[in-house]
Amino acid sequence: MKFRVERDALAEAVAWTAKSLPSRPSVPVLAGVLLRVASGRLQVSGFDYEVSSQVSVEVQADADGAALVSGRLLAEITKALPGKPVDIAAVGSHLELVCGSARFTLPTMPVEDYPALPDMPSSAGTVDASTFASAVSQVAIAAGRDETLPMMTGVRLELNGSTMALLATDRYRLAMREIEWNPDDPEISLNSLVPAKTLNDTAKALGPGGGSVTLALAQGSAGEGMIGFAGGARRTTSRLLDGANYPPVRSLFPASHNAEARISVSALVEVVRRVALVAERQTPVLLSFSEDGVVVEAGGTEEARASEATEAEFTGEPLTIGFNPQYLIDGLQNLGAPTAVFAFVDAFKPAVISPAAESGEIIPGYRYLIMPIRVTR
């Protein structure tokens, strides 16, 4: 194997592939990225039996072939190279990399020991890449991080006709976004549970270039338990989580509310951040709403306390409610709108935050539900 490739294209391809490699692989070869050259293209692949990543790059090839090298080491080296063409050659049990006057020799691992990447499931349809990336980032923040509850670490993907719904919850908050997409089968009705981290990383990587993302999902026995995403020269597959017993979370959204507040997102985020400085871990911030606006308060140990008022339009009976400050900030920052609309039933029921435009109209499609924390005063 011998080829020349542009430094930026190589660095980007290796960095993206290496990102999904396991930090503690079960076998050494899974820490590697597979470089394979054929027909003037380089394929960079990574696989850990859970997630596979593959990207192809145009190269000037002198000899076809394959080599398996440490992914993280190669990613660090290619990122640090000067902005010149890179010459790579497999020589015996080593990979030689030359860029300008920089020269690296890396040990290789046996290519024959590397597992075959899974095939992509059949295509289910396409979705706008930037819209998909935005929707995933809005929802993935609410997914759980506790690996002992794997079901909560996923994003539920609901495909019904031309509507794609994404939902995630860690039991303390719930995010839901609905977007339009282009299904291959207009009558499609499928649900799947995708690991949130994988979905977020994939959507971020496929989003910036624009265009569309092809969603590949098993329909029947072929590729059961797998989902695939393809965009441009990149493709990813991921194992699905078992979502058979996923709770009916949509029912958590209240059918009606008794009070409503409209607040500037940037102003409230700043106030909550400042006030939360005195709050200890797990200590809520209190939001007291009235027709005069909202007062945000927090208390810590040794009598440390803080409060700050900010403007808000409020309708309903005065209300004081406590929230985890980070969960509140996460929801506000992902609204993608200048104004947040809070809908309350009472101080002990979940509140729903929706984005609103400058005109004050609620923007449909995204809702963030946050559980209150009971506080004795």
Q: What is the pLDDT of residue 12?
A: 94
Query: Containing H/E element for 61?
Result: strand 60-63
- Digit-by-digit pLDDT tens for the chain (377 residues) are 999 999 999 999 999 999 889 888 889 999 999 999 999 999 999 999 999 999 999 999 999 999 999 999 999 999 999 999 999 999 999 999 999 999 999 999 999 999 999 999 999 999 999 999 999 999 999 999 998 899 999 999 999 999 999 999 999 999 999 999 999 999 999 999 999 999 999 999 887 777 899 999 976 544 468 999 999 889 999 999 998 889 999 999 999 999 999 999 999 999 999 999 998 877 899 999 999 999 999 986 667 899 999 999 999 999 999 999 999 999 999 999 999 999 999 999 999 999 998 888 899 999 999 999 987 65
| Shared domain check, 329 and 213 | no
Is 218 among the domain residues? Answer: yes
| Shared domain check, 144 and 93 | no
Is 115 among the domain residues? Answer: no
CA-CA-CA-CA torsion sign (251, 253, 255, 258): positive
| Shared domain check, 132 and 23 | no
Sequence-ordered strand ranges (E) for 102-153: 102-107, 123-128
| Shared domain check, 336 and 260 | yes
| Shared domain check, 17 and 53 | yes
Last residue in a domain, options 66, 83, 109? 109
Give the domain extent around 322.
253-370
Do 175 and 350 form a contact (C-beta atoms < 8 A)? Answer: no
| Shared domain check, 45 and 158 | no
| Shared domain check, 137 and 72 | no
- How many independent structural domains does the chain possess? 3
Distance (Å, whole) CA 319 – CA 325: 17
Kindly report the CATH number assigned to the domain that includes residue 349.
3.10.150.10
Distance (Å, whole) CA 185 – CA 105: 50
| Shared domain check, 315 and 198 | no
Q: What is the pLDDT of residue 220?
A: 55
Is 178 among the domain residues? Answer: yes
By C-alpha distance, which of 257, 248, 334, 332 is closest to 296? 332
Is 94 among the domain residues? Answer: yes
Q: What is the pLDDT of residue 221?
A: 46
Is 46 among the domain residues? Answer: yes
| Shared domain check, 239 and 160 | yes
Is 57 among the domain residues? Answer: yes
| Shared domain check, 322 and 294 | yes
Last residue in a domain, options 49, 81, 109? 109
Last residue in a domain, options 250, 281, 310? 250
Is 306 among the domain residues? Answer: yes
| Shared domain check, 48 and 30 | yes
| Shared domain check, 243 and 352 | no
Q: What angle do CA 84, 104, 202 make, to 5 degrees?
A: 70
Is 116 among the domain residues? Answer: no
